[in-house]
Structure 1
Amino acid sequence: MQVITKITRQKNRDRYNIYVNEKFAFSVDESILIKFGLTKGKILDSFEIDEIAYEDEISKAFNKALNYLSYQMRSEYEIKKKLLDAGFGESVALEAIQKLKRLGFLNDETYSKALLETKKRTAKKGPMAIKQDLLKKGIDQNILEKTLETYTFEEQLRLARQLAEKTVKMNPKKTPAQIKQKIRDLLLRKGYSFEITNEILDQIDLERDDDEWHDLISVQGEKVWNKYAGKYKDKQLELKVKQALYQKGFPLEIIERFIDEKRENE
């Protein structure tokens, strides 16, 4: 016969040590103590002890997950991985997760919406990039698609335009073609579609007047000229410079004017 002969509280914790037949048998969380009515003099059989141990593991897993959630929102996948990595069995982890869901501490739909808003606000990410973020968090496909449906075309255009305008401001010494390539690369990398990217490129104003073209080619043209001057001479040098500057987006008349000025200054 196994009889509880003593119950003591652990220091600074809501856990209790249970003594059976005058010997320490196991410890439990306060909630388990109450649930099973563990009191001095209670008789336990082996089945009850096993059940108590299992419930206490769930309680430990629940508390660990709750602590993990206290720092920031998490997905079910993240919580399960955390508990498994901590050494809890899969059945215990799943039971703890179900308890978290019942109490409203864990909800993948709410988490997905919050992640979507965060990625839009902090990184101005497009839907394809956010989709990858959600997949990494183990979000169910149906929840994922439902969440991304709330990301409207108009909102994508607004955020993509902000990225494009910032790129223009950061590259005052680049040609329109170079800036467009930077915008295209950035928007695609951020997860925007070709449709959104092309729409933004059509909207953005990158016109340059003659003075601006002159300033641009004075900087980039000199670099290209110096790069090839040690390798080529005369017409071959001019051809190489012309090809390089044309690829950078300079108009032919601007390039030819630059080359004429170089000839005059030699």
Structure 2
Amino acid sequence: MERDEREKWSEGQIQEVPAPGMITKLERQKRNRERVNVYIDDSYAFAIHEDVLVKYRLIKGRQIDKEEMQGILEAEEKNRAEHYALRYIGFRPRTVHEVQVYLLGKGFPEEAAEEVVQRCLKQGYLDDRRYAEQWVEERMRLKPRGRHLLRQELRNRGIDENTIEHAVEGLAHDTELEACLEAARKKYSKVRFATYAEMRNKVGPFLQRKGFGLEIINRVLEILKSELCQR
């Protein structure tokens, strides 16, 4: 196997467990200096991250049996899963559910995905409560919407109901009212309705789609009556 093909292949999951034997060569990859190609009995066997190499004290001349080989490859699989997860989280905050789905989609075993998620939780890289609170705050600041739609968006990201309610309960009633009013004004600032009924039939459903409740919508419609209605 040519070097470029070997290093490209080694970035994927190891398809089968190599035969046990003696380590005859350790070769650091040129494209990724953190990964090492391992040769057993003078034949390329697999590639692992240097952290796994150190953990198992793999050196030239060391004999590896079948059981230890399996442990090394499982450790490498979890190490790879963790690197994928951290890179995924690095782009923007993620939920526990999103990371689990992402890792499973990359072909990692459920056990490895779950262990990595638990490690990320312990280290503070994942926090669904903080995520939900920040989601509500950002949505209300950039794209105003009501509690109903906020709840649905968080459910779609795998947040549990208790965490959702905790985040939404922190939203002040006046803040939601202002957001509803802002959304209506932004959409219909240049529109004049002939009657209040016409405005209600047009603006009301729009605000419902934005996730606002009927009580807040009715208050907003009353406020907008003098602004948007001719009579």
TM-score relative to the length of structure 2: 0.84
1:7, 1:18 within 8 Å by CA — same for their partners in 2? yes
Q: 1:15 is matched with which residue?
A: 35
User: Is the radius of gyration larger for structure 1 or structure 2?
Assistant: 1
Report the Cα offset of residue 109 of structure 1: 1.3
The one-character-per-residue Cα deviations of 1:193-246 (angstroms, maximum 9, x if unpaired) are: 11111122233342789xx56xxxxxxxxxxxxxxxxxxxxxxxxxxxxxxxxx
Which of 139, 145, 152 is the equivalent residue of 1:132? 152
Aligned residue runs from structure 1 range 187-206, under 5 A:
187-206=207-226
Q: Which runs of 5+ in 1 are unaligned?
A: 214-266
Contact 1:167 1:182 in 2 (8 A): no
Q: Which amino acid aligns with 1:9?
A: R
What whole-Å deviation, never above 9, does each CA across 1:37-58 have from its counterpart, x for those lacking one?
Answer: 1111222221111111011111
Q: Does 1:30 align with 2:50?
A: yes
Change beyond 3 A, Cα 1:169–1:79: same
Q: Take 2:122 and 2:35, find their aligned partners in 1: how far apart are those partners?
A: 24
Q: Which residue in the other structure is 2:11 paired with?
A: none
Aligned length: 211
Residue aligned with 1:41, SS: coil
1:79 to 88, 96, 99: 99
- Structure 2 unaligned segments of length 5 or more: list them: 1-19
- In structure 1, distance between residues paired with 2:128 and 2:175: 23
Do residues 176 (structure 1) and 196 (structure 2) align?
yes
User: Per-residue deviation at 1:12?
Assistant: 2.0
Note closer, same or farther for the CA distance 1:207–1:88 as it changes in structure 2 (3 Å cut).
Answer: closer
Q: Residue 99 of structure 1 aligns to a residue in which SS?
A: helix
Residue 4 (1) aligns with residue 23 (2): yes
Measured after TM superposition, the shift of residue 174 of structure 1 is 4.5
CA RMSD of aligned residues (A): 2.0
Task: State which of 73, 78, 84 in structure 2 corresponds to 1:64.
Answer: 84
- Which structure would you say has the larger RCO, counting Cα contacts within 8 Å and 6 or more residues apart? 2
2:24 alignment partner, SS class:
strand
* Structure 2 counterpart of 1:146: 166
- Percent identity over the alignment is 31
Residue equivalent to 2:65: 45
| Secondary structure at the counterpart of residue 104 of structure 1 | coil
Q: Give the distance between the partners of 1:41 and 1:101, measured in 2 at CA.
A: 39
Of 184-193 and 114-123, the range deviating more from structure 2? 114-123
SS in 2 for 1:24: strand
2:134 to 114, 125, 134: 114
